[in-house]
Structure 1
Amino acid sequence: MLPAGKVPSEILEKLFRTLGSEDERVLVGPGIGIDFAAISFGDKVVVASTDPITGAVEDIGFYAVHVNANDIAVSGARPRWFLVTILLPENSDEELPVRIMRDIDREAKKLGISIVGGHTEVTPGLDRPIVVGTMLGEKEGNPIRPNNAKPGDAIVMTKWAGLEGTSIIARENRKELEDVFGRDFVERAASLLDYISIVPEAIVAAEFGVNAMHDPTEGGIANGLHEMADSSGLGIRVYPEKIPIRKETMAICKFYDLNPLALLGSGSLLIAVKRDHARALVERLASRGINAAVIGEFLAEKKRVAVVNGEERPFPRPRSDELWKVFKR
């Protein structure tokens, strides 16, 4: 039986054998750890991405815009056009699709994105709404390829682990958490939603000059690191104590017995950059008000390890996002 969340990589590899007709204009196609597709249109490249929002109900429109925009930004392109499919449970209130689209409209305007199409329906068998977005962007010249990390590259991570997951749990389980931690704590945790966009730091990193970028989503920072290594055919050495985690995330993860490194991670950006340039990149990001840290390096040897108390230990890939443990209780 498959666990909830992303399909395991060994099954995805089988799916990648069924990709339709070949097209020489496709610069970046599907692959593990690949956030976007890129298609050549002469002097410009169109970048495309699609992602569903399945774990959130409150602010689902907000997440749909920013999660998809993030996938475009890691290519170095700016998100421009958005198509959205809204699937509603039976007997939904008529106000629900209106509220979802109102939120999508507001967030799209913030990023200068036009909503150009989509589909809405009431779907049997759902217990919550699902929003599936497709984002398009464009850039001049080749995109920053997600599979271009090099052996010896430093891994720079922006902001904090588990931001999206923390915000969703705080919003969906507000009453339960207020009884334990108090209203002010829950408000701070819920407000981590404000950090979801990685468009600003992706633009900074692209202008700085980096080898690869990746937007960790399901499976959090841990799965994102594995996906980056998969796409570039490399290993990783991670220093968990250097991974920034908010105290709100730590407290909620302890309460629900979750691993914060495997909690839904939108809002953080993973960057592969030459080792000698890593500190300068962190300082550049800090000068723009963006927290960042060097958390590891890519290895030519295809091992996946974490350094704990000075010793290398296996760094396993999460089987599923920790968020599902909360909503399956």
Structure 2
Amino acid sequence: MLPGKVPPEVLEKIVFNLLGVEDERVIIKSGVGIDAAAIDFGEKVLVASSDPITGAEKHIGFYAINVNANDVATFGAKPRWFLATILLPENADENLLKEIMEDMHRSAEKLGISIVGGHTEVTIGLNRPIVIGTMLGEVKREKLVRSNGAKAGDAIILTKGAGIEGTSIIASEREEELRKVFGDELVERAKRFLEKISVVKEALIAAEIGVHAMHDPTEGGIANGFHEMADAAGLGFRVYHDKIPIAEETEKLCEYFNLDPLALISSGSLLIAAPKEKAKKIVNAIQKEGIEAAIVGEFLEDKNTKVLVKDGKETPLKRPETDEIWKIF
């Protein structure tokens, strides 16, 4: 298998058939395009999600908190409690651990999250640190958003744009090279895309107005995100290239490294399936908070139709086999 997420057909064949006992309190369980579990706690629902940070080395504590908080928020839940497994490479010093923990602490404080446990070790065979996070949150039962709840005819809303996290990672990891090509100003702006990673604010705004599903596209970018949402709901989609926001910084870095911005890791973007009559209200409410948002397509009844419209031509939008970010490592 290629680096990145395990293909959905392999998950269906192996992983989802080996999940222990059935539990009637599990309202939402593992599935393709479903990034968290929801467990019945009476009036409230506990939402739990787990994600590793493997494609970055700098600021991994920040990414660990925010990427996992994003998954929980897409269920309409407020992220509350976090557990971290920190795997350090051989010969790592205490400063590396301190840096990771300070990153996590600052990020958790900003979102009102408590770090409640985890595990830390020096691991044989690693050449870079890895952080695996688990985020827990809660939501009133009636406010729970199901990630597989998109309906045919729903508008697809995208916040911020394509390749948000990837832009920040590339600018940080290849900073010296890129400064020589593009100059300091563009590289500094690209590095600051790190500040856009959280989708908690816009997810909770959208959930309050009323949506059918939300998803934060990570590996495979928004292209994979469209597929994951559609597959989870048994639908197809049509999206319009000229409506998808792609920042100048993202465009230039992708052109330089010959990457597809639509398939570049995109934590910081939020995909929303909204009833058409509510879509503009949701976009306006998110924009009022200074966050870019746009209607970029619609979900379709025919699950075999998954297309991108570009220059007036409709072509199949293939699911990325792996994230574009791996091409620069």
TM, length-normalised to structure 1:
0.98
Q: Distance in 1 between matches of 2:207 and 2:74?
A: 8
Aligned length: 326
2:231 is matched with 230
Q: 87-96 or 189-198: which moved more?
A: 87-96
Higher mean C-alpha displacement, 222-231 vs 273-282: 273-282
What's 2:256 paired with?
A: 255
Deviations 1:41-62 (A, max 9, x none): 1111110000000011111100
* CA distance in structure 1 between the aligned counterparts of 2:311 and 2:206, rounded to whole angstroms: 31
**Matching of residue 122 in structure 1 with residue 139 in structure 2:** no
Output the amino acid matched with 2:317: F
Instruction: Report the equivalent of 1:314.
Output: 316
Separation of aligned partners in 2, 1:280 and 1:140: 23
Partner of 1:25: 25
1:5 aligns with 2:33: no
Shift of residue 289, structure 1, vs aligned partner: 1.4
What is the CA-CA distance between 1:116 and the residue it aligns to? 0.5
**Residue in 2 aligned with 1:66?**
66
Render the CA deviation track for 1:16-40: whole Å, top value 9, x for unaligned: 1111100000000001111110000
Structure 2, unpaired ranges of 5+: none
Deviation, 1:283, is 1.3
Partner of 2:271: 270
- Cα distance, 1:282 vs structure 2: 1.1
| Of 302-311 and 144-153, the range deviating more from structure 2 | 302-311
- 1:277 CA displacement: 2.0
1:110 counterpart residue number: 110
- 1:100 and 2:100 matched: yes
How do 1:200-219 residues align onto structure 2 when only pairs under 5 Å count?
200-219=201-220
* Cα distance in 2 between the residues matched to 1:278 and 1:94: 49
Q: Structure 1: how far apart are the matches of 2:166 and 2:179?
A: 17
Matched to 2:243, the amino acid is K
SS at structure 2 position matched to 1:16:
helix
Q: Which amino acid aligns with 1:141?
A: R
Q: Match of 1:238, SS?
A: strand
Give the TM-score normalised by the residue count of structure 2. 0.98
RMSD of the TM alignment (CA)?
Answer: 0.8
Letter in 2 for 1:34: I
- What is the letter of the counterpart of residue 167 of structure 1? S
- The answer on 1:304 being equivalent to 2:306 is yes
Q: What amino acid maps onto 1:232 in structure 2? A: A
- Corresponding residue of 2:241: 240
Taking the aligned partners of 2:93 and 2:182, their CA distance within structure 1 comes to 32
Q: Which amino acid aligns with 2:313?
A: E
- Residue range with higher mean Cα deviation, 289-298 or 301-310: 301-310
TM-superposed deviation, 1:309? 2.3
Aligned position for 2:55: 55
> How do 1:166-181 and structure 2 match up within 5 A?
166-181=167-182
Rounded to whole Å, the distance in 2 between the matches of 1:272 and 1:88 is 39
Alignment correspondent of 1:148: 149
1:326 aligns to what?
Answer: 328
